[in-house]
């Protein structure tokens, strides 16, 4: 059986890793709050990340690229340690960001564009004659 202290040394410090990756993105680094929880015999790690709501755009980045990069680094560290990791992001109100995004997508209404109905023929009602693209037979 492996030494428990040796296993502890190989486990990444997820809180410090997240702090290292996210803090440079923030205007107010002191607003960052990180909490982690390990369960299932040290196989699963849950990391909760919270910051001011005004910092959300910087942390997520354009198209979510920043937060996806953070998740990728965390997953790589977890795989190397033989664990799985989940990152949850909470806004200033304490609601999970993933839940807020899901709710926005669920309640998003699609705008219908009103189009003019076509007349009976597929040709335009424009009276201007158009030149023919066909070649004239040789004389």
pLDDT tens readout for residues 46-92: 999 999 888 889 999 999 999 999 999 999 999 999 999 999 998 65
Report how far residue 90's alpha carbon sits from residue 88's, in angstroms, rounded to the nearest whole number. 7
Q: Is 134 domain-assigned?
A: no
Q: Is 51 domain-assigned?
A: yes
Number of domains in the chain: 1
**Arithmetic mean of pLDDT over the chain:** 76
Report how far residue 57's alpha carbon sits from residue 77's, in angstroms, rounded to the nearest whole number. 25
Q: Is 63 domain-assigned?
A: yes
* CA 114 from centre of chain: 32
Q: What Rg value do the Cα atoms of the chain yield, rounded?
A: 28
Q: Is 121 domain-assigned?
A: no
CATH code of the domain containing 88: 3.30.300.20
Q: Is 126 domain-assigned?
A: no
Q: Is 128 domain-assigned?
A: no
| Beta-bridge mates of residue 39 | 44
Q: Is 66 domain-assigned?
A: yes
Range of the domain at 69: 4-104
The answer to whether the beta carbons of residues 69 and 20 sit under 8 Å apart is: no
pTM above 0.75, yes or no: no
- For 73, counting Cβ atoms within 10 Å of its Cβ (0-12 exposed, 13-18 middle, 19+ buried), the class is middle
Task: Give the tens place of pLDDT for each residue, 6-48.
Answer: 545 578 899 999 999 999 999 988 889 999 998 878 889 999 9
Taking alpha carbons only, the member of 42, 34, 37 closest to residue 81 is: 42
Q: What is the pLDDT of residue 130?
A: 66
């Amino acid at each position: 059986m492996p030494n428990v202290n040796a296993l502890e040394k190989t486990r990444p410090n997820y809180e410090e890793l997240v702090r290292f990756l996210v803090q440079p993105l923030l205007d107010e680094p002191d607003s960052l709050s990180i909490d982690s929880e390990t369960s299932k015999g040290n196989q699963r790690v849950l990391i909760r990340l919270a910051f001011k709501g005004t910092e959300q755009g910087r942390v997520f980045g354009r198209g979510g690229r920043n937060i996806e990069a953070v998740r990728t680094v965390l997953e790589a560290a977890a795989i190397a340690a033989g664990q799985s990791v989940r990152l949850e992001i909470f806004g200033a109100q304490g609601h999970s960001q993933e839940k807020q995004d899901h709710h926005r997508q669920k309640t998003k209404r699609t705008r219908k564009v009103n189009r003019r109905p076509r007349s009976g023929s597929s040709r335009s009602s424009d009276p201007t004659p158009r030149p023919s693209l066909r070649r004239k037979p040789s004389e």
